[in-house]
Amino acid sequence: MNFIAEFRQKHIRFALSQLKSIQALRAIAAISVMFAHLYGVEKNHAEVNPLLSPLALSGMAGGDLFFVISGFIIVWVAGDWTPGKRSSASFLYARVTRIYPTWWLFAGALALYLYVTQGVPWDPTVIGEESLTGTEHLIKSLLLIPHETLPVLQLGWTLIHEMYFYVVFAGLLLLPAAWRLPAMGVWTALLITAIFAGWSTHHAENLTALVFSPMTLEFLMGAAVGWVLKAGWTKYAMPALLAGIAGTVFAILSVDFLAEGVDLPLTRTLYFGPAASLIVYGVVALELQAKAARWAHPILVHIGDWSYSLYLGHLIVIAGLGRLYFPVFGRYGLIASLGYLYLASLAEITDAAVAYYLFERPSIRALRRWRPSHRSTGASEGSRAPAE
């Protein structure tokens, strides 16, 4: 029995169950983004200097971690599916039904709020002087189609990148399994060439800009981690994890998310992408070695389950609470800020849990019954990972 087959037999139970380490990382990513926005709300409304440090803005890198995790999960779950249209359709159906219903819930809630308060279901200041109409902006936002400005719920810009990666990967599932890794290598090489040629832009305002976005490299980094772990390479788990943590600290101290004249997508990809990839490799490899992810506390794992709803809903909740809270309690200074941070965090985590149990999970289960079947060429057949 060769090494790969032995590894798969030994660790198949992990392929058939949820990776707790990944769920915990998803929780950390979502909470990090939430604290970056908590800093912004506190700065805008508090009557004293923000209690949170400006370093909290580095929590935006939670989005980079999400991209790496997405690339990893897709390969971990579907990398060895039998090639063909059924596998491609099954994968794409799973991703569409996973992403869109919850996106429509939160984007629709914000559009409804804007309609009640401003008379139109979009923010005219976001559209500005762009050539598109409000209706076109709303439709493209709901469908996650790249356009000149950010979606109606601005966090949706990351989902536009997610859907692009999923569509291309669905195409790769048409290829023989042995061709997929080389194909992703070619994809990576072409993207790097385009970046060096100066074809990438700051914002994915159209399909061309989306295709050449450097942030796709983060998905590909995560996919590479998936291939490495599926091949059984777990030997360097702890050194990789420590290097990833050190790299993240270095990135936090080096990347200014508010700097002008900086190619932020490329900068954050180069600084945070490799560090996040090393962290994902490290924690999953440790879990596969049967060294239980003790750090992955059950609370973190649960929040990881809710992380998609938390990510999409947090800005609505914390911004709305800030508008109500600070006019009443702002005069109490730092105590008011501390109270706001506690209440806003608690309110959003509660909101995420409610949205997950009452809408997100039921919608996934209801739509799964129409999913086309697929088969795996390897031992991970029938596997389930957080993204499925």
What torsion, rounded to 10 degrees, do the Cα atoms 111, 156, 27, 216 define? 180
The pair phi, psi for residue 81, each rounded to 5°, is: -65, 150
Give the Cα separation of 151 and 90 in Å (integer). 27
Q: How does 51-84 read in b/e, with b if 16+ C-beta sit within 10 Å?
A: bbeeebbbbbbbbbbbbbbbbbbbbbbbbbbebe
- Range 242-248 average pLDDT: 98
| Beta-carbon-side half-sphere exposure of residue 40 (alpha carbons within 13 Å) | 18
What is the mean predicted confidence (pLDDT) over 161-170?
Answer: 97
Length of the chain: 388
Average of per-residue pLDDT values in the chain: 90
Asked if 174 contacts 84 with a C-beta cutoff of 8 angstroms, the reply is yes
Amino acid identity, residue 109? Answer: A
Does the pLDDT of residue 12 top 80, yes or no?
no
Report the distance separating Cα 319 and Cα 229, nearest Å: 40
For residue 202, what pLDDT is reported? 81
DSSP class of residue 345 equals H
Q: Where are the domains of the chain?
A: 3-368
In this prediction, residue 297 carries a pLDDT of 85
The CA-to-CA distance between both ends of the chain, in Å, stands at 31
**Closest to 11 in 3D by CA, of 292, 376, 289:** 289
Taking the C-alpha atoms of residue 244 and residue 246, their distance in angstroms, rounded to an integer, is 5
CA-to-CA distance for 120 and 117, rounded, in angstroms? Answer: 8
Residue 296 tokens read as: 């992955």
The percentage of the chain sitting over the pLDDT mark of 70, rounded to a whole number, equals 91
The answer, yes or no, to whether residue 131 has pLDDT greater than 90, is no
Model pLDDT for residues 299-330, shown as the tens digit of each residue: 999 999 999 999 999 999 999 999 999 999 98
Q: Given pLDDT bands bounded at 50, 70 and 90, which one contains residue 270?
A: very high
Grade residue 377 by pLDDT with cuts at 50, 70 and 90. Answer: low
Please tell me the distance from the alpha carbon of residue 307 to that of residue 322, in angstroms, as a whole number: 21
Q: Say yes or no to pLDDT of 380 above 50.
A: no
Is-contact 167 92, C-beta < 8 A?
Answer: yes
The answer to whether the CB of 269 falls within 8 A of the CB of 279 is no
Q: Is residue 379 very low, low, confident or very high in pLDDT (cuts 50, 70, 90)?
A: very low
Q: What is the pTM of this model?
A: 0.91
Q: Where are the beta strands (DSSP E) in 164-237?
A: none
- Bridge partners (DSSP) of residue 356 are none
125-129, 188-192, 247-251: the lowest-pLDDT one: 125-129
Q: Report in angstroms the alpha-carbon separations of 152 from 32, 85, 111, 115, 157.
A: 22, 34, 7, 12, 10
Using an 8 Å Cβ cutoff, are 377 and 80 in contact? yes
Query: Looking at the DSSP assignment, which residues form a beta bridge with residue 81?
Result: 376
Q: What pLDDT digit, counting tens, does each position of 326-346 carry?
A: 999 988 989 999 999 999 999
**Cα(183)–Cα(349) distance, integer angstroms:** 40
180-237 pLDDT, tens digit each: 999 999 999 999 999 999 888 888 899 999 999 999 999 999 999 999 999 999 999 9
Helix H or strand E segment including 159: helix 157-172
Give 316-349 as a 3 state SS string.
HHHHHHHHHHHHHHHHHCHHHHHHHHHHHHHHHH
Q: How many CB atoms within 10 Å of residue 28?
A: 19
Residue 382 predicted with pLDDT over 80: no
DSSP 60: G
